[in-house]
Structure formats: structure tokens, C-alpha cells
Amino acid sequence: MSTALVTGATSGIGLSFAHQLAERGHDVVLVARDRARLENVSDDLRAKYGVGTEILVADLSDRAETGKVAERLADQARPVDLLVNNAGYALKKRFLDNDIADEEAFFDVLGRAVLVLSHAAARAMRERGHGAIVNVSSVAGQITSGTYSAIKSFVTVFTEGLSAELAGTGVTATALLPGFTRTEFHDRAKLNMSRLPKFMWLDADRLVTDCLDDVAKGRVVSVPGPQYKAIVAGLRFAPRSLVRSRARTVHRPKARQG
């Protein structure tokens, strides 16, 4: 029986990955900050699917705690066959309105942790000659909308480069680029999404199923949903000046009062 490790495993896309991997017979290592929620998910997976579970309480903005997760991935006595780097969140304010400490922690969770954990997992998997890495990026990485977009752009390009480096080793790397997905993500960031058209929303379970199918096919980039496939394809050919002008409209400073 193989083992998968999922970060951000207690909600949203990460929780869906945990359930679907357990349903397919994988033992699961669950990583998140909240022990109580981890224990609840762990109990649920064992009861529903009869798989082995392990919990790792870790705040990926803390380098020491990220290092502990990396050590687990590098442990050849307890091999991890699939890594899902999913942990993430959003900052409501614009870059210049945030404290730099908040931006640094944000980068550590969404960017540095992906780098560190992918490195540990890929080296261990390469030595064994098999394995897969899924790095959850975003369609937002194709545009210029603050540090979230910038970090997700890094995740996508990093994963593409890692995939090329792993070619012929039996290990694959896939970047998942979801669009707007019905999870706790936007509520936690206190973002008002009421104006978004219904057809733009993705279902987390469906996108995870599609992603795992893409991983099995060895695809490097997985874009769920026909609407987002079209958007990503269009953005590849759109002039960057047009993309930037749209970002300037979104982030235009508010007029001062008085």
C-alpha cells in the first residue's frame, strides 16, 4: 500500500485530496496547523476507508516546522509515494498595505514550503525510482495581481522545471492550476465573492479527480474546468501590457476622503 502526504489537509482542496487518496487505498499523512481538526479528519478517513493515517502538526511559515515535514518526506524507512503541496491562504490587503512580516510569512507558506518539501520528496522518490508530486498553483499565477499571483507563478514554473529535471527517473511533478473553487478559502480571507458568476465556480472534488487523472497520465500542468482551460490558453497569447492594465484597474488606489 502506498502513502500520500497532503499539506493543508483539513479543508478545501486539501481535504478533498485526502479523502480521494484514502478512498483509492493510500495511507495518508495529514499536515496542517490545527491538531483538533487533523485528528477529526484522521478519524474520519480511518473509519470510512480503513486506511492508515498519520498527523503532523506544522505551521509552514515556521522554517523549523517545515523542516520536520521535509524530514518525514525524506525518510526512506517510511516512504511517501505522493506529495500534495496544497497549504495556502490569501491576504485581503494589497502588498503595500500589508506589514512586510505578513508578506514574508505568506511567501514562506505558499512558496518556500513548496520548494523545500518538493526538494525532500523528489530526492527520496528519485532514489526509489518512482513517485509523484502535485503542487497546487492557481490560474491567478497567469496574471499580475499582487503577491498571490506572483508566488503562484513561481509554483507553476518551478514545477515545470522540476518535471524536466525528473524526466526518466520514474518520478513526476504536476502543477495544478484551479480557478475559483467552492471552499473555505475566500471566507477565511473575508473576500466578497457574491458578484462572481456561478459558471466560474469549480467543485473541489471534481477538480481533484481530474488532477489525479492528469497525474496518472504524467501531465505537467493540470487545469480543471473548460472555462479555465480557455482562460489559461487565452492568457498565453494575450499581450502582457493588456494583462498589466487589467491589474492596474483592479488595484487602483482609492481616492482620499476630505
Asked whether 222 and 215 are in contact (CB, 8 A), the reply is: yes
Of the candidates 65, 153, 162, the residue with the CA atom closest to the CA atom of residue 108:
65
Of the candidates 4, 16, 21, the residue with the CA atom closest to the CA atom of residue 132:
4
**pLDDT tens column, 58-90:** 999 999 999 999 999 999 999 999 999 999 998
- CA 101, CA 242: separation in Å to the nearest integer? 31
Query: Rounded to two decimals, what is the model's pTM?
Result: 0.86
Q: What percent of the chain has pLDDT over 90?
A: 71
User: Is 148 marked active-site?
Assistant: yes
Strand order through the sheet with 171-176 = 53-57, 27-32, 3-7, 82-85, 131-136, 171-176, 221-222
Band of pLDDT at residue 153, cut at 50, 70 and 90 = very high
* Radius of gyration for the chain, computed over Cα atoms and rounded to the nearest angstrom: 18
- CA 195, CA 191: separation in Å to the nearest integer? 11
Band of pLDDT at residue 142, cut at 50, 70 and 90 = confident
Q: Which three cell numbers stand for residue 121?
A: 520528496
Cell 503577491 locates to: 147
Query: For domain 3-250, which architecture applies?
Result: 3-Layer(aba) Sandwich (3.40)
Residue ranges of domains in the chain: 3-250
**pLDDT tens column, 3-59:** 999 999 999 999 999 999 999 999 999 999 999 999 999 999 999 999 999 999 999
Cell 516512504 locates to: 79
Catalytic residue among 49, 89, 148, 228: 148
Asked whether 111 and 88 are in contact (CB, 8 A), the reply is: no
**Interaxial angle between packed helices 146-166 and 113-128, expressed in degrees from 0 to 180 and rounded to the nearest 10:** 10
